């Protein structure tokens, strides 16, 4: 499943900053990937080592059949465009723009 072209107008309906759209959807894609990894580990009854927290670097899954699973970027972009993702700007990010 490939991601089709997305117009800038659709992305800019959610926020005036295109880069914010990219960051929000990419962070959601990373969350979805981590959820898949955790689900697989639970199914395989594999323990998560202490240094491999949920927010650590993504765990490489070697036995993935990419043709069967929907791409995380596709899911994240669909959720973003449908308004299913909510986020807020932190004070730190607002101060950096000033």
Give residue-wise pLDDT tens across range 76-85. Answer: 999 999 989 8
Asked if the structure places residue 70 within a domain, the reply is yes
| Overall number of domains in the chain | 1
CA distance 67 to 43: 20
Q: What is the pLDDT of residue 7?
A: 82
Asked if the structure places residue 50 within a domain, the reply is yes
Asked if the structure places residue 8 within a domain, the reply is no
Q: What is the pLDDT of residue 39?
A: 83
Residue entry with tokens 């914010």: 20
Domain with 76 in it: 16-97
Asked if the structure places residue 58 within a domain, the reply is yes
Helical segments of the chain, H only: 8-12, 18-44, 72-81, 91-97
Asked if the structure places residue 10 within a domain, the reply is no
């Amino acid at each position: 499943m490939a991601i089709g072209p997305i117009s800038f107008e659709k992305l800019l309906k959610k926020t005036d900053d295109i880069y914010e759209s990219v960051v929000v959807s990419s962070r959601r894609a990373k969350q979805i990937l981590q959820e898949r990894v955790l689900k697989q580990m639970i199914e395989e009854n594999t323990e998560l080592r202490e240094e491999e927290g949920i927010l650590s670097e993504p765990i490489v899954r070697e036995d993935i059949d990419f043709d069967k699973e929907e791409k995380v970027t596709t899911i994240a972009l669909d959720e973003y465009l449908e308004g299913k993702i909510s986020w807020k700007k932190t004070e730190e990010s607002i101060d950096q723009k000033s």
